[in-house]
Amino acid sequence: MKRWISFVLCSALLLNPFVSAWSQTQSGARFKIYADLVLVDVRVDDRHGNPVQNLEKKDFHVYEDGVEQSLAVFRYQDVTRTEVAAKPETPATPLPPAPAAEKKPPVPLGQSDDSQYSDRRLIVMMFDLSSLDASDALYARKTAEDYLKTKIAPADLVAVVVMAASLRVVQDFTDDKKLLEAALNKIKLGQSTDLSAQGLTDPTANDNTGTVENTNEDTSDPFAVDDTQFNIFNTDRKLVAIESVAKMLQDLPERKSLIHFSSGITTTGVENDAQVKATVYAANRANMSIYAVDSRGLVATPAGGDASRGGTGGTAMFSGASIRSGLDQISSAQDTLVTLSEDTGGRAFIDTNDLGQVFDQVHEDTRSYYLVGYYSSNTKHDGRFRRIKVTVDVPDVKLQFRQGYIAPKEFGQLTKDELNRQLEEALNTDAPFTDLPFILGAYSFEVPDPKDPKTTEMFVPVSLRLPSSDVPFTDKRDRKETNFDFVGAVQDPARANTMVSYVRDTIHLKLDDALYARIAAGGSIQYDTGFFLRPGNYKLKFLIRENQTGKIGTFEQALVVPDLSKQAFKMSSVVLSSQLQPIDKMQVGVTRTNDRDALLQRQDKIPNPLVQNQQKIVPNVGHVFSARQTLYSFFQVYQPAVDPQTKKPHIDLAVLFFKDGKKVFQSPEYEVDQFNADSLTTVDCNFTTPLTQFARGRYLMQLVVTDQIAGTHAYKRIPFVVK
């Protein structure tokens, strides 16, 4: 039995090769402008440490890799002006109380408003509850509360962000203490998800280290994903969260300070280097400095471990291996904090119990600065580090500024980890990608549970189709080649869009000249896969990336999986098709790699409902047909009543076709009285309708399905087009 994941090249090669009704689109010339604005905040102090004011644009010289750049942005920010203006003066004689100053409403993160941000200090307090335990989170929150009570300055605009199971903006930028205090009170302590807990002490281990890798597996719900299985691109979501905050703020040119409270960020190896670089790049692009705070403070772990968990087995606690392992874990988690801070112009606060120092440092670093910006004269997107140097035409001054940044990369230069991260970002962002257009169709069928044949579950086949005209091919000897990444995710909106299933495939196409000619003549490419889901309402999102040019397309829609147990007449979706593909020809010219979906391994044990008589029914996703084609219709009826005498079902089908509200054709009635070969509860219903007598236009197929024995019936109305 072939795997259910399949790939279809319509009108030539199809991992079900069928004639496509997809209209060809013309691709025009594409122009790209490489103009990346680089922002640098420069602090200028005299020999006594006092800020130097009144410098002009002509006094500054900015160099990138030794080449002087032309300044496009120049602005002086001085928060002391805001603080002085806000400081009340003591009047000589008592005066009537002045009316309360009007409080400005909170400003959403990333929403530019020069009048509100001029000479203001922008601070984001981020609490990483996915790593903080309850006591550390409490300490971090108390530190923030103390800052609001004793240290917040009139120039401070503060936002509160929380990372738990997902990233959430609790409070947008505001200087209202009451709003900020209320936001801190909303933080639920102990909301940890332990996303990156690695090497936890295992009381059952008998080796010399006493540690095992924590896989974070959740076996409470077989339909819910665990963090390990569905973090498919092996990047740390803690870093992605910081990167997301930076992207929210990248439209604001002023310097931003992100105060990040966590218990460290432990990367899982070199595969996370790409994400660390991406986070630093995003922060620098947004002119955001990271002040990382290890909320554990000064860590001192007893030799045998503390009382939070059982003791280790073996000799680890006596040989010192346990202590070394624990220190290595702490050091690894802190190294990432130091890297993020130093590479973005901030500072890391580790091994200290005075966490409030971070606010003093932010105030000191952002009291006044010059914001300069330029469009780099180096238009190469090579991903290399570019060193920045700033000089001023003033003697005896001290300059503080970011030492450089990482340039963006062209698609062809991305590493494997960076390619994976790009897919993850594209899948998680709300913004659609339209460079590679495609359409999608999803259906639902009831299938037996392989663990218990007496029970059933819902299988949701999904088909994606894209026009071949948008797909570039390269010449490789006597073949045309291309390859794609397909990524799909099913999310549950009722559970904060928790991912409940996913699929990923990399498809390689190698076509001979004849096959390529048929594809290029106006064909399309179709990819088929599927998910096992419980009944419910979901959000389905798919992404396709063509891996030569980096074009990406996304498609998102609501997905309703019906609960057939609550329906009097139980039937599947109706699938319309234009051709049937022999399953022994489904893989012609196609190879597949990187298929990591363990859930779909069950397909080898379950008959595919779309495979009938050794032929695959390939859904016509767009419901667009040619008058030369035959319309194939297929669906299933479940648990129909049976005749007590013959032990057979009796299902009648009536099919009518309407155009412009008038009936134009009616097929002969069909009668089905046999269960399919694999089940005593499922009836396969299929019929064909030649379209030779159908004029061009839009039609509505009305299907009436009747269980003659039970006296129940169902109606289905399906639109389609004949061109």
CATH number for the region 623-723 comes to 2.60.40.3880
Taking the CB of residue 420, how many other CB atoms lie within 10 A of it? Answer: 22
Q: Which amino acid is at 156?
A: D
Mean pLDDT value of segment 398-425: 82
Tens digit of each residue's pLDDT (9 = 90 or more) over 309-353: 455 555 544 455 454 545 555 566 678 888 899 888 899 998 888
Q: Give the span between the Cα atoms of 170 and 179, in whole angstroms.
A: 10
Taking the CB of residue 59, how many other CB atoms lie within 10 A of it? Answer: 15
* pLDDT score at 631: 94
Q: In DSSP terms, which residues pair with 441 in a beta bridge?
A: 463
Q: Which residues of 579-591 are buried (b: 16+ CB within 10 A; e: fewer)?
A: bbbebeebbbbbe
Q: Give the span between the Cα atoms of 534 and 458, in whole angstroms.
A: 6
pLDDT greater than 80 at residue 600:
no
Taking phi over 0 as left and psi of -120 to 50 as alpha, with beta for the rest, 707 belongs to beta
* pLDDT score at 85: 56
* pLDDT score at 532: 87
pLDDT greater than 70 at residue 84:
no
Fold of 112-375: Rossmann fold (3.40.50)
pLDDT greater than 80 at residue 586:
no
* pLDDT score at 319: 52
- Give, rounded to a whole angstrom, the gap between the first and last alpha carbons of the chain: 36
Q: Pick the residue with more confidence: 581 or 451?
A: 581
Q: Pick the residue with more confidence: 631 or 405?
A: 631
Range with the poorest average pLDDT among 146-160, 294-308, 463-477, 594-608: 594-608
Q: How confident is the model at residue 421 (pLDDT cuts 50, 70, 90)?
A: confident
Domain ranges across the chain: 112-375, 623-723
Q: How confident is the model at residue 33 (pLDDT cuts 50, 70, 90)?
A: very low
| pTM of full prediction above 0.85 | no
Mean pLDDT value of segment 532-537: 90
Range with the poorest average pLDDT among 430-439, 566-575, 712-721: 430-439
* pLDDT score at 226: 38
pLDDT greater than 50 at residue 243:
yes
